[in-house]
Structure 1
Amino acid sequence: MKKIRTPLGRLALLLAAGLALLGGLYAATVLLGYNGHRPLSSLASSHGPLMVFGFVGGAIALERAVAIRRWWGWGAPIASAIAVAAVFLHAPVWVPGAAWAVSFAVLTGVYAEAYRRQGSLALIIQAAGSVAAVFAALRWAEAGVFTDALGLAMMFTVATIIGERVELARLSFSRGHREETITVLILALLAAAVVAPVGALATSIERVFGLLLVAVAVASLRADVARNLVRTSKLPRFSAACMLLGYGWLVVAGLAIAFFGLRTTGFAYDACVHGVFLGFVISMIFAHAPIILGAVIRKNLPYHPILYAPVVLLHGGLLIRLGAGDLLRHDGIWRAGAIVTIVAVLGFIATGIFSGISNRGKGKR
């Protein structure tokens, strides 16, 4: 395997992650009752894996492959792209499941190599997340149902994002040993995610998992420089606002999981799952997207105030979906909120493109 040096190669792998995102959003519309008889309606059963493994996992794998500069590191985004293709080609579930497990195993190796070069607790946190993702992909491949891998998938996204925040905000951990505290909480979260699906105490462990999510969110928020950056301007303020909103939704989702567990159904299940994956993960992706994409394609992505529009839609849609639809158990309100969040994600892509075109050649940040 040759090292992928050209921007075209990186762009192709980035497009695979983008395809997973679009496929996952399309699958969401099927689950909402739309597009049920279209050719791609079978993607509905792969909504979770496409969004978490294909989009989030594929993007992180690509980012780390660019950073590590080792030929074998490219195995992670390539395996993820193969998995995405397998889903769209309607391959048996074990095929994309195995490919994603390989992707996350290589990603774990990338973190190990980075730790060998310069050890840090931030890398341990992120490696814990990639280990959880290996188990999540294998569990999904075996069971064919994403709910069986839900806790592990949540653990992967939370640990990866929190680990990157610890890595980027290292100077804010000068007091109180907060970095060590967050690391211990993440490792406890991993243990709970691995053990939760097994045994008679499963529901109790899931509730502990929820409380740990709350603890991780609070500890990370206390240490994150976003609390100060939100008082600045332009891109730093935009990113900080998205991050603070994301931490808030993680607290809400953690409390919901602590109360209901992960084996719940219906509106309670929706609040637990999408509080994490939409409220926390997507908000954090909005916050970091200009930085991550800039690192991958080696070009500065400009800031434009229009980026706030999809942020407002995302969190407004979540308030409608979780705060009204789920709380009132009203299907129509829930469905409307869900559609707004889908529009928000698509809108973020559109505003990012608009921002890049309108500021071409100006180099604004």
Structure 2
Amino acid sequence: MKPGLAARWLLRACLIALPVLLVAGVFGGLLRAGAAPAAVGGDWLAAAATGHAFLVICAFMGTVIGIERAVALRHVLGFAGPAASAGAGLAWLAGAPMAAAGMALGAALAFVAVNAVIIRRQPAPHTVVLGLGALAWALGCAAFAGGAGPAAVLPWWLAFLVLTIAAERLEMTRLARRRAGAAETLYAFVALLLAGAAASALPGPWGGALYGLALAALAAWLVAFDIARRTVRAHGLSRYMAVCLLLGYGWLFVAGAAWVAAAFGHPARDAALHGLALGFVMGMVFAHAPVILPAIARIKVLFGWPFYLPLALLHASLLLRLAGGAASPHWLAAGAAGNALALAAFAATLAGAALAWRLKAPDGARKTLA
């Protein structure tokens, strides 16, 4: 059953809002890193800087993931969540943070409901982990709407992204043979992550330490059991995705170690947050976008070697940011600028690949997407 007219309009509205939300989130991050002048942009840029994590995680990634689940649900009500998360980001930029926080909470609760329906339809390990990720997002949004600080909010928001990605990889590899106890080990690490997120709001370092250990453990599990270890020897898109995944798992481990170090007072907060958000999460976006984009936007892309260029820039600039940024704010700003350039280059590569497919594909194949 194809989505109705209302669902298509909601989807289009979300797809139009997504570039605005990403650009605002990136510019806010550049301002925070000292890579953009504070005088440029006016009130909206100040709002983007204060709401950098909110815009990137709740507004942008929440909308992207919500669209993907809504397409899987194939019901107009499934698009209410991504519409609300996109609206939350726009409300934040418009100077209405309380309304934005309420809309984000509504979006997260709608996402929980969507995942509950999907779990009922398809009770499987990956759908349960997706549901737990949705619940983590809702708990973080509830804490944010209640005025909690970053220490109590960010672990929940980032757990939402980590668990969503882990569930997607679990789904992709569900037909592969795994050693006995692999699933149970994953569940234990997921429980450890959620416990660390909950304990992060408490005084002392142990919540953060537990959270970091869980991130590192999940990275080790993904390296051990993901099919990327085999597909990296393939060719074309399969090899590219595997390279993205394995690099991302490496950054997930680094972020976990940095999270533990930061919990005990070491200056590793930027490595913890951006090793996770950029190295792992955006690395996964780079990996899956050539596959997900045709599914949700009905746009096919022609894969080629240019996809490796923004990937290399992303990881090189992240290394510059985290290795040099600890010694000099100039290196931090340069690395952040490189991160932003990598995202822009990836968007341009996707657009070019979509155009290349349209130019190369036969007329009949193009019409199937119309």
How many angstroms does 1:57 deviate by? 0.9
- Whether the 8 Å CA contact 1:302–1:363 is kept in 2: the answer is no
- Whether the 8 Å CA contact 2:299–2:354 is kept in 1: the answer is no
2:353 is matched with 355
1:49 is matched with 54
- Whether the 8 Å CA contact 1:210–1:258 is kept in 2: the answer is yes
| AA of the residue aligned to 2:78 | G
- Whether the 8 Å CA contact 1:35–1:41 is kept in 2: the answer is no
How many angstroms does 1:145 deviate by? 4.7
Match of 1:244 among 243, 246, 251: 246
- Whether the 8 Å CA contact 2:59–2:85 is kept in 1: the answer is yes
TM-score (norm 1): 0.92
How does 1:60-99 map onto structure 2 within 5 Å?
60-91=65-96, 93-99=97-103
In the alignment, the residues of structure 2 paired with residue 238 and residue 100 of structure 1 have an alpha-carbon distance, to the nearest angstrom, of 33
Match of 2:337 among 319, 339, 342: 339
- Whether the 8 Å CA contact 2:232–2:239 is kept in 1: the answer is yes
| AA of the residue aligned to 2:56 | M
2:142 is matched with 138
How many angstroms does 1:256 deviate by? 0.9
How many angstroms does 1:169 deviate by? 1.2
Q: Give the unaligned 5+ runs of structure 1.
A: none
How many angstroms does 1:285 deviate by? 0.6
How many angstroms does 1:291 deviate by? 1.5
SS at match of 1:170: coil
- Whether the 8 Å CA contact 2:159–2:194 is kept in 1: the answer is yes
| AA of the residue aligned to 2:281 | V
Aligned residues: 356
Match of 1:151 among 155, 168, 173: 155
How does 1:264-279 map onto structure 2 within 5 Å?
267-279=267-279
| AA of the residue aligned to 2:81 | A
How many angstroms does 1:203 deviate by? 1.2
1:304 is matched with 304
Q: Give the unaligned 5+ runs of structure 2.
A: 363-370
In the alignment, the residues of structure 2 paired with residue 231 and residue 18 of structure 1 have an alpha-carbon distance, to the nearest angstrom, of 34
| 1:77-116 C-alpha deviation (Å, 9 max, x unpaired) | 111121022012110x221111111111111111111111
Q: 1:16 to 1:144 in 2, by over 3 A?
A: farther
SS at match of 1:299: coil
1:20 equivalent to 2:21? Answer: yes
In the alignment, the residues of structure 2 paired with residue 121 and residue 354 of structure 1 have an alpha-carbon distance, to the nearest angstrom, of 37
| AA of the residue aligned to 2:258 | A
| AA of the residue aligned to 2:119 | Y
How many angstroms does 1:4 deviate by? 4.9
TM-score (norm 2): 0.91
1:232 equivalent to 2:237? Answer: no
| AA of the residue aligned to 1:49 | F
In the alignment, the residues of structure 1 paired with residue 186 and residue 179 of structure 2 have an alpha-carbon distance, to the nearest angstrom, of 13
Larger mean CA deviation between 106-115 and 280-289 belongs to: 106-115
Q: 1:146 to 1:292 in 2, by over 3 A?
A: farther
| Cα-Cα RMSD | 2.0
- Whether the 8 Å CA contact 1:256–1:272 is kept in 2: the answer is yes
2:218 is matched with 216
How many angstroms does 1:356 deviate by? 1.2
- Whether the 8 Å CA contact 2:245–2:283 is kept in 1: the answer is yes
In the alignment, the residues of structure 1 paired with residue 211 and residue 259 of structure 2 have an alpha-carbon distance, to the nearest angstrom, of 8
In the alignment, the residues of structure 2 paired with residue 129 and residue 209 of structure 1 have an alpha-carbon distance, to the nearest angstrom, of 15
